[in-house]
Amino acid sequence: MSGHSKWATIKRQKGANDTKRGQLFTKLSNAITIAVRQGGGVADPEFNFKLRLTIDKARAANMPKENIERAIKKASGSGAEEVQELLYEGFAPGGVAVIVEAVTDNKQRTFSQVKNIFDKNGGSLGSSGSVSYMFSRRGEITAAKNGASSDEMLAKGIDANISDMEDDENSVFFYTDPQELQNVKKNLETQGVSVESAQLIYAPTNYISSDNAVQEKVLNLVEKLEELDDVQEVYTNLELNS
């Protein structure tokens, strides 16, 4: 296992032990609002793929059905205009590149909070484009092996038109072109693959190695960013040590 899959595994393990369910549900509600807004106001997940992905993520996190329905209803109203999606770029200790995806109803507040965490944890917030060129937009599909070998999963992935695959002991991470995410997910499910999640990510095009001390500082910065209510995802090009 290498690259982005290590980060995905850590996040999955962390999510399984996450006790801040209220904060998680707030993040998911905001993501639903953005999905509806970016989908032209379409609140039906059958006709809004990003909304469907977000709802699937909410269900996987055991978000109550009424919370999901409330978020969709809110997104369909005037409140949706108050929420916007933002992208921040910066550097962590060791020159590690960081991308932060956020959803907020107060741009100034979120900027101040994100900048404060960078400044207090040995990093620096950069301008637009300062690190994004070191990442590419990709679709990521996480699936359970359910006893299948890596070769068997790869064969199914190739049939489903994936572009790449990584795996750990129990799961595989299929990668796709962004525009192919929906079709690949359907193709995998048709073959009986147990899809756990599907999302668009920022995948590093190259990684930066560091010693354990620097890695600990980067992980600490990432964790503090992820604790912010407005932050949805954090991506870095740090190569995690084994």
Domain membership flag for residue 47: yes
72-113 pLDDT, tens digit per residue, is 888 876 554 578 899 999 999 999 999 999 999 899 999 999
Residue numbers of the domain that contains 49? 4-82
Say which CATH number the domain at 14 has. Answer: 1.10.10.200
Q: CA separation (Å) from 167 to 87, 171, 172?
A: 28, 6, 4
Domain membership flag for residue 42: yes
pLDDT for 131 beyond 60:
yes
Among 77, 55, 78, 56, residue whose Cα is nearest residue 68: 55
Give 25's pLDDT tier (boundaries 50, 70, 90). confident
Residue 139: what pLDDT? 95
User: Higher-confidence residue: 236 or 16?
Assistant: 236
Domain count, the chain: 1
Domain membership flag for residue 236: no
Domain membership flag for residue 231: no
Residue 8: what pLDDT? 64
Give 11's pLDDT tier (boundaries 50, 70, 90). low
Residue 235 contacts residue 201 (beta carbons within 8 Å): yes
Residue 81: what pLDDT? 53
Domain membership flag for residue 162: no
Report how far residue 71's alpha carbon sits from residue 61's, in angstroms, rounded to the nearest whole number: 15
Residue tagged 């962590």 (tokens): 92
Report how far residue 102's alpha carbon sits from residue 227's, in angstroms, rounded to the nearest whole number: 12
**Widest Cα–Cα separation across the chain:** 49
Domain membership flag for residue 154: no
Residue 82: what pLDDT? 74
Residue 19: what pLDDT? 46
Report the chain's mean pLDDT, rounded to a whole number: 88
Residue 20: what pLDDT? 63
171-225 pLDDT, tens digit per residue, is 999 999 999 999 999 999 999 999 988 999 999 999 999 999 999 999 999 999 9
Give 21's pLDDT tier (boundaries 50, 70, 90). low
Q: Is 151 exposed, middle or buried (0-12, 13-18, 19+ CB in 10 A)?
A: exposed
47-51 mean pLDDT: 90
Give 1's pLDDT tier (boundaries 50, 70, 90). very low
pLDDT for 239 beyond 60:
yes
Among 165, 30, 5, residue whose Cα is nearest residue 101: 30
Residue 152: what pLDDT? 95
DSSP codes of every residue in the chain: --THHHHHHHHHHHHHT---HHHHHHHHHHHHHHHHHHTTT---GGG-HHHHHHHHHHHHTT--HHHHHHHHHHHTSGGGGG-EEEEEEEEEGGGEEEEEEEEES-HHHHHHHHHHHHHHTT-EE--TTSSGGGEEEEEEEEEE-TT--HHHHHHHHHHTT-SEEEE-SSEEEEEE-GGGHHHHHHHHHHTT-EEEEEEEEEEESS-B---HHHHHHHHHHHHHHHTSTTEEEEEE-B----
- All residues at 6 or more sequence positions from 111 whose CB lies less than 8 Å from its CB, including other chains: 86, 88
Domain membership flag for residue 181: no
Domain membership flag for residue 137: no
Which of 12-21, 67-76, 193-202 is predicted least confidently? Answer: 12-21
52-78 mean pLDDT: 86
Report how far residue 235's alpha carbon sits from residue 208's, in angstroms, rounded to the nearest whole number: 13
Which is it for strands 135-144 and 164-167: parallel, antiparallel or unpaired?
unpaired
